[in-house]
Amino acid sequence: MTEPDQAMIDLYLVRHAHAGNPVKWAAADELRPLSARGLRQATRLGDFLASAEVGPVAIVTSPKVRARQTADVLGAALSGDVRLDERLADGLSIDLLRALVGETDVADGLMLVGHDPDFSEVASVLVGAPIVVRKGAVVRLALERDAVDAGAGILRWLIPPEALGR
């Protein structure tokens, strides 16, 4: 790798897969699990990421059950460890992203698994254009480690769950 590439990081923002209807869920929202559809989405996404030779990446997830389940499937597909970060339960911000990038020692990338509306908002701010991260989708951005700011991201790709089959 050349010196300029060492300053770059691949950021993968993964919104948790389908978790059913929150209105029909009677328990605490943070305990809501993936639906059968969501498990299929997460598995297909993991297969796609493995075939795209993503990695090594640090996988960091929200503590909410549906995000943890999604992250665990992706971690298994990518042979990566999953780290739970309580801060992601309250949403992702540019400041939190900056902190997470600074804490990441994996040279190639950082994969965050969490929730909307904040994942879509942060992706949009980073690239300076509207981006919608749907349930079970992944957006890949390139960032300079020292420049996690508005407009500093480069959109590499956005894969919605429908692109991976039903």
| Domain residue ranges of the chain, discontinuous segments joined by + | 3-164
Nearest C-alpha neighbor of 143 from the set 89, 100, 113: 100
> What share of the chain in percent tops pLDDT 70?
95
Report the pLDDT averaged over residues 39-66.
95
Strand order across the beta sheet in which 109-114 lies: 82-84, 58-61, 109-114, 8-15, 138-144, 154-159
Rounded to an integer, what distance in angstroms lies between the CA atom of residue 134 and that of residue 107?
A: 27
* Spatial separation of the C-alpha atoms in residues 16 and 33, rounded to whole Å: 10
DSSP labels, 41-77: HHHHHHHHHHHTT--S-EEEE-SSHHHHHHHHHHHHH
Looking at residue 19, what is its pLDDT?
Answer: 95
Query: pLDDT tens, 11-45?
Result: 999 999 999 888 888 888 899 999 999 999 999 99
- Name the superfamily (CATH) of residues 3-164: Phosphoglycerate mutase-like (3.40.50.1240)
